[in-house]
Copies of this chain bind each other. A is one copy, B any other.
Amino acid sequence: MQPIEDRNKISTPLVRNAISGDRRALAQLLTQIENGTPEGFAALNELYPRSGKAHLVGITGSPGSGKSSLVSQLVHHYRHLPTGEAPRRIAVVAVDPTSPFSGGAVLGDRVRMRDLAGDQGVFIRSMASRGSQGGLAQTTGQMVQVLDAVGYAMIMIETVGAGQSEVEVARLAHTTVVVDAPGMGDDIQAIKAGLLEIADILVINKADRPGVEAAEHALRSMLQIQYEAASKIQEFPCDEVPIITSETKTWIPPLMCTVAIQGKGIEKLAAAIDAHNEFLHHKGNWQNREEARLRAEMEILVRDALQARWRGSLADGEFERMIKAVASRKLSPQQAVEELISNYKVRNS
């Protein structure tokens, strides 16, 4: 709850209600943002100065790695801390088409989701990975801004980690958790290698399954290659929560083992996530990460805005005529695009 004088600065009732903790108002606001309405756009600008406090945690991994269960368990953990600490408010944005939060559910997951849904300190929002007005990453970024501004202290962004747009989404987070599982097949090694570059924490979920040693070995080897030169360490920590001291200079991604559906390893994983947050708040790391994050977000916004403006500047049927010229091989696609773009004059606003 914000102090009254602060709340009064917000002119839009819907935004004011969302800030006061009205969940229906918040849901409506997020829908406006998803639909790209002018009201949504105005709300974003009103809310943005209040954002910047939340810890944004991306959770990404292949379908079948069990990341949705992991998210459920993490949220449950943070909401019922064994220390008796006051639980932080948590939001989940699920942009994974396979997530039970976004609708691709199996029964067991739906049940777990229901557990969380009764908790007023937890807000869950799912997004279709196709068809959102302004593109997946843009809409996610804006939803996260709103959730941050209305007071969620931790925002988990769940994405399936096997495509460019999903990697874009992962770049919007402060802390990126990459989830793997044993026995997913050798042929996803390359995907993993791509995801490793963005991982702050690595998780082997379903660690009670055969093949866990092999999976651990493979991930360690890949980490070794990536960090050897920089860190000069021989062994990567497994199931060890990093300890941040005043001496800490670099973050070495820890490798954590979990069995999410049994709640095993969740406490340590949560501690590792908190340790990364602590690391970021250490010696200017936060600002660097925040700027990298915002750069990624703004590049996406620029790309989409340029495209929208260009489309608006086209004469009726101009694009269709060009497509026909290309189809009949009069112009190459490159030549047609050069022409379409050189005709395009940006009206300065």
Contacts and interface: CB of A to CB of B under 8 A. Distances in A.
B340 A302 contact: yes
Interface string A156-176: 000010111110000000000
Contacts of A232: none
Nearest to A335: B45
Contact of A327 (B106, B294, B341): B294
Contacts of A145: 332-333
B337 A64 contact: no
Contacts of A341: 302, 305-306, 309, 346
Interface in A166-213: 166, 184-191, 193-194
A236 interface: no
A332 B45 contact: yes
Contacts of A305: 337-338, 341
A98 interface: yes
B298 A188 contact: no
Contacts of A51: 329
Contacts of A327: 287, 290-291, 294
B291 A333 contact: no
Contact of A294 (B189, B287, B290, B323): B323
Q: Which of A145, A302, A303, A345 has the most CB of B within 10 A?
A: A302
Given A295-B323, A326-B294, A341-B309, A333 B187 contact: no
A346 B346 contact: yes
A184 B64 contact: yes
Interface in A250-265: none
Q: Chain A binding site: helix, strand, loop or mixed by DSSP?
A: helix
Interface in A262-314: 287, 290-291, 294-295, 297-298, 301-303, 305-307, 309-310
A87 interface: no
Q: Which of A44, A190, A191, A295 has the most CB of B within 10 A?
A: A190
Contacts of A331: 48
B324 A190 contact: no
A295 B341 CA distance: 15
A346 B220 CA distance: 48
Q: Which of A164, A185, A194, A335 has the most CB of B within 10 A?
A: A164
Interface in A4-57: 41, 44-45, 48-49, 51-52
23 contacts: A44-B332, A45-B334, A48-B331, A52-B329, A63-B162, A97-B194, A98-B188, A102-B190, A104-B187, A104-B189, A163-B164, A294-B323, A294-B327, A294-B333, A297-B333, A298-B323, A298-B336, A298-B340, A301-B334, A301-B337, A302-B337, A342-B346, A342-B348
